[in-house]
Amino acid sequence: MNRHNAKMNAFALRLLEPGASDRVLEIGFGGGLNLPWLIETAGFVAGIDRSSSMVQQARTRFPEAISAGNAVFQEGNVEALPLGPASFGKVCTVNTIYFWSSLDAGFAEIYRVLAPGGRAIVGFLPKEWMDRGGFPTDIFTSRATDDVIASVKKAGFRDARAERPETTTRWVVVVANK
C-alpha cells in the first residue's frame, strides 16, 4: 500500500508544508510512509490510527522521537479524536475517508483539533474511480469530491479546494484552512 500511495502522499505533504515549529497530526498513518519525513521536518508529530498493530509498529519504529517528546502515536478514530482542541497547526490524512462513518463528524473533529489559521489536507481517490475498483462496499464508502468539499465547508473550514498535480491524475487532495 505504501508504494501504491506514495505519489498521493508526497503531493499531500507538499501541500501541507510542515515546518520546524509545526505541530502536525496524521490521521490513519497505517504503514507509516509519511512518518519519517514528518518527524524530521515538523516540531511535533502525532499519529492516530484505528489499528492497534499499526500504532504498536510506529511506537517500535520511532522510540527516539517518542522519548524526545517529538512524537506520539495513539489508537483512535477520526470521529472521536483523543486530542485537545486547537492543539495542531496542520492535519493530514490520506486514503482514510472511505472508512469514516460520517464525513461531517470527521471534519468537525479535525476542525476542533486544528488551531486557528491551521491547514487540513485530505487525499483520496474520488467516487468515480473508487466505484470502478470493485472495492467491497461493506468496508469502503466511496466519496465524491463535491461531497467532501461540502462537508469540509460545513465544518467551518474556508478556502477549501481540490488539487491534483496534473489534470489527468485520478486522485485528489483537498486543502482547507481554519
Assess if residue 78 is contained within a domain.
yes
CATH number at residue 130: 3.40.50.150
Q: In angstroms, rounded to a whole number, what is the distance separating the alpha carbons of residues 141 and 111?
A: 22
* pLDDT one-digit tens code per residue, 162-171: 999 999 999 9
* pLDDT one-digit tens code per residue, 37-94: 999 999 999 999 999 999 999 999 999 999 999 999 999 999 999 999 999 999 999 9
**Closest to 6 in 3D by CA, of 24, 32, 27:** 32
Model pLDDT, residue 164: 96
Q: In angstroms, rounded to a whole number, what is the distance separating the alpha carbons of residues 66 and 44?
A: 10
Check whether 23 has a pLDDT greater than 90: yes
Assess if residue 31 is contained within a domain.
yes
Task: Answer whether 0.85 is exceeded by the pTM.
Answer: yes
CA-only gyration radius of the chain, Å: 15
**Residues whose CB falls within 8 Å of the CB of residue 44, separated by 6 or more in sequence, listed in order:** 22, 23, 24, 69, 70, 71
Q: Could you give the 3-state DSSP secondary structure of residue 29?
A: coil
Assess if residue 1 is contained within a domain.
no
Q: In angstroms, rounded to a whole number, what is the distance separating the alpha carbons of residues 137 and 60?
A: 33
Check whether 3 has a pLDDT greater than 60: no
Model pLDDT, residue 117: 97
What is the span of the domain harbouring residue 76? 6-177
How many other C-beta atoms are found inside a 10 Å radius of the C-beta of residue 67? 9
Assess if residue 165 is contained within a domain.
yes
Per the structure, how many domains does the chain have? 1
* pLDDT one-digit tens code per residue, 107-152: 999 999 999 999 999 999 999 988 888 887 888 899 999 999 999 9
Name the pLDDT band for 4 (thresholds 50, 70, 90): low
Check whether 1 has a pLDDT greater than 50: no
